[in-house]
Amino acid sequence: GENVEQHPSTLSVQEGDSAVIKCTYSDSASNYFPWYKQELGKRPQLIIDIRSNVGEKKDQRIAVTLNKTAKHFSLHITETQPEDSAVYFCAASRGSTNAGKSTFGDGTTLTVKP
Amino acid sequence: EAQVTQNPRYLITVTGKKLTVTCSQNMNHEYMSWYRQDPGLGLRQIYYSMNVEVTDKGDVPEGYKVSRKEKRNFPLILESPSPNQTSLYFCASNPGGPLFDQPQHFGDGTRLSIL
């Protein structure tokens, strides 16, 4: 089955710096790669996603890149702010055969120091 | 308001006492799923359903049952709960479709403690 590895598990940055979180996946048939943000005591919420026919996607301070050949994708947050502090999860899922199975990374706890 | 609703939000119970966690969505989504979240282990998929009467095992299905008799509801059943099922549980849904490339909408979570 799919295996998703996420690094680092914790990340501390100074306000205004950039943060990068990386994930690798094992199933070459995976075609959808969302990133979720989970604040303390809250539910995970989508912040950005990318599909396998796209290499990069950007939404204001947040961007995601996908390298299908190497089977890895990354989340980039620029100009970090204290409210970016949260746990971030990557995930991989696939359509067609075994559609419906979603595998999440173990999460990255991001702390942005004012 | 589009939402996924789980009940109860918190439950403390004892080993062996059957319990059901309900999940309902009002978005007419085909796909629904259950996850458990444990510290350092991310979200692990328990069961999922691509449509009514269609359910499949995720990565950690042991000790759980589900049913999908109608589109909006996807209850999680613990027939004989044990302490290792103490966890935070999330229900999620998305529109489904052949590419399965849509984000999931999560409920607010249910914190279960099995003593």
Residue B8 clears pLDDT 70, i.e. is over it: yes
DSSP letters for B49-89: EEETTEEEE-S--TT-EE--SSTTB--EEESS--GGG-EEE
The enclosing H or E element of A104 equals strand A102-104
Residues of chain B with C-beta less than 8 angstroms from the C-beta of A95: 97-101
Q: From the candidates A23, A98, A101, which should be mutated to test the interface with B, based on the most B CB atoms within 10 A?
A: A101
Determine, for residues A106 and B100 on separate chains, whether the beta-carbon distance falls below 8 Å.
Answer: no
The 3-state DSSP composition of chain A as helix, strand, coil percent (nearest 5) reads 5, 55, 40
CA end-to-end distance (rounded Å), chain B: 36
| CA closest to A97 among chain B residues | B98
Minimal CA separation from A47 to chain B, in Å? 10
Three-class DSSP category at A74: strand
Structure tokens belonging to residue A36: 């979720």
Determine, for residues B108 and A43 on separate chains, whether the beta-carbon distance falls below 8 Å.
Answer: yes
Residue B98 clears pLDDT 90, i.e. is over it: no
Residue B46 clears pLDDT 90, i.e. is over it: yes
| CA closest to B58 among chain A residues | A101
| CA closest to A101 among chain B residues | B58
Are A95 and A31 in contact by the 8 Å Cβ rule? The answer is yes
pLDDT of A94: 82
pLDDT in tens for each of the 114 residues of chain A?
789 999 999 999 999 999 999 999 999 889 999 999 999 989 999 999 999 888 999 999 999 999 999 999 999 999 999 999 999 999 999 876 667 888 999 999 999 999
